[in-house]
């Protein structure tokens, strides 16, 4: 079967070869654990039940999960084992099941969710992606995903081409986000302030490109108002592989980040998460050699 799950549309038969994402048809994960470093309404006090999938359909040059996205680190598991992991995370008190970089395994994830739900999986499912998604793939997830947690990385397609090799990122990401919103709508919270349904859009501020960040935020606010949450992130980490891109081979300054946050506030954004302090540290990057399962 030709794989057309992501906008790359490789069309390869993943039984025989791998495409851009470097994934075959066997699920490969880099980590599964309770995770405390997501937005507060997702991590809560007990943690989000994150499953980091190996490989990536976007592969940004500055990815902080480089070992996962570019080097495809991890181990193969069966769909049945993936379903067991979902249930084990729920049993450990996870507030939700958080699928990180899941696009290229959507079909296997759906099968695992079907199995897990029959066995008692009841917590919300979070789809945590780059935002670089086909509408048709998002359609497959209707009824399985409660919370969408997409990135919206760029307004400028030139930046998207330079740093992610995705020259139509804005058009693709905006269409995908529209379909996500059609599926889950406005945010809903439980009595403890945990998100049950809705969308949180993440935007990572890049060094030197605050104007592009402002254009992203303006687009999101003018399109969705306060019916989605924004997460404006300052955790850009210039790891060694970014050295070949000297213009982004530094941290985001406090002045740059504050300028973006102030712009959002002046625009009227009310539902947003911001980061305080220095989060641009390698210590915030998960250990993909460590498995809880």
Region of 144 please: left (phi>0), alpha (psi -120 to 50) or beta: alpha
**76, β-bridge pairs:** 28
Query: Is 89:83 a contact under the CB 8 Å cutoff?
Result: no
Return the pLDDT at 71: 56
CA distance 178 to 252: 29
CA distance 92 to 33: 10
Q: For the ranges 171-175, 256-260, 279-283, which has the lowest average pLDDT?
A: 279-283
| Residues found in the chain | 293
Return the pLDDT at 50: 97
Mean local confidence (pLDDT), 17-33: 92
Q: Which domains does the chain have, with CATH numbers?
A: 28-284 (3.20.20.70)
Candidates 180, 198, 99; CA nearest to 135 is 180
The C-alpha angle with vertex 101 and arms to 96 and 105, in degrees rounded to 5, equals: 95
Q: What is the pLDDT of residues 176-225, one digit of tens each?
A: 999 999 999 999 999 999 999 999 999 999 999 999 999 999 999 999 99
Whether residue 231 is predicted with pLDDT greater than 50 in this model: the reply is yes
Whether residue 280 is predicted with pLDDT greater than 50 in this model: the reply is no
Residue 16 pLDDT grade (very low, low, confident, very high; cuts 50, 70, 90): confident
Q: Which long-range contacts (CB under 8 A, 24 or more apart) does 70-73 make?
A: 70/241, 72/22, 72/23, 72/28, 73/30, 73/288, 73/289
Residue 284 pLDDT grade (very low, low, confident, very high; cuts 50, 70, 90): very low
CA distance 39 to 198: 13
Q: What is the pLDDT of residues 55-94, one digit of tens each?
A: 999 999 999 875 666 556 789 999 999 999 999 999 999 9
Q: What is the pLDDT of residues 105-125, one digit of tens each?
A: 999 999 999 999 999 999 999
The C-alpha angle with vertex 144 and arms to 65 and 30, in degrees rounded to 5, equals: 25
DSSP string, 68-126: HHTT--SEE--HHHHHHHHHHHHHTT-SSEEEES-GGGHHHHHHHHHHHHHTT--S-EE
Better-scored residue on pLDDT, 91 or 286: 91
Mean local confidence (pLDDT), 137-144: 98
Residue 241 pLDDT grade (very low, low, confident, very high; cuts 50, 70, 90): confident
**130, β-bridge pairs:** none
Mean local confidence (pLDDT), 48-53: 97
Whether residue 289 is predicted with pLDDT greater than 90 in this model: the reply is no
Backbone angles phi, psi at 168, to 5 degrees: -115, 35
Strands 125-129 and 147-150, bridge-based pairing: parallel
Return the pLDDT at 283: 40
Return the pLDDT at 46: 96
């Amino acid at each position: 079967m030709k794989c057309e799950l992501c906008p790359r549309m490789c069309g390869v038969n993943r039984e025989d070869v791998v495409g851009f994402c470097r994934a075959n048809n066997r699920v490969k994960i880099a980590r599964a654990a309770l995770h405390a470093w997501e937005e507060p309404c997702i991590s809560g006090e007990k943690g989000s039940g994150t499953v980091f999938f190996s490989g990536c359909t976007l592969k940004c040059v500055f990815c902080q999960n480089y070992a996962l996205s570019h080097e495809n680190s991890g181990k193969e598991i069966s769909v049945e084992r993936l379903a067991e992991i979902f249930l084990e995370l729920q049993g450990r008190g996870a507030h939700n099941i958080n699928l990180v970089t899941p696009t290229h395994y959507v079909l296997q994830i759906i099968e695992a969710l079907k199995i897990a739900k029959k066995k008692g999986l009841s917590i919300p499912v979070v789809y945590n992606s780059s935002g670089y998604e086909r509408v048709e793939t998002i359609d497959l997830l209707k009824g399985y995903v409660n919370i969408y947690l997409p990135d919206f990385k760029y307004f400028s397609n030139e930046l998207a081409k330079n740093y992610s090799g995705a020259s139509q990122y804005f058009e693709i990401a905006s269409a995908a986000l529209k379909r996500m919103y059609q599926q889950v709508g406005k945010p809903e919270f439980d009595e403890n302030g945990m998100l049950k349904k809705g969308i949180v859009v993440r935007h990572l501020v890049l060094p030197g490109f605050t104007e592009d960040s402002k254009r992203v935020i303006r687009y999101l606010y003018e399109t969705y108002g306060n019916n989605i949450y924004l997460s404006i992130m300052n955790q850009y980490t210039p790891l060694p592989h970014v050295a070949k891109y000297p213009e982004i081979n530094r941290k985001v300054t406090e002045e740059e980040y504050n300028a973006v946050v102030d712009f959002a506030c002046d625009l009227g954004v009310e539902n947003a998460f911001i980061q305080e302090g220095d989060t641009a540290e390698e210590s915030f990057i998960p250990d993909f050699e460590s498995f809880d399962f």
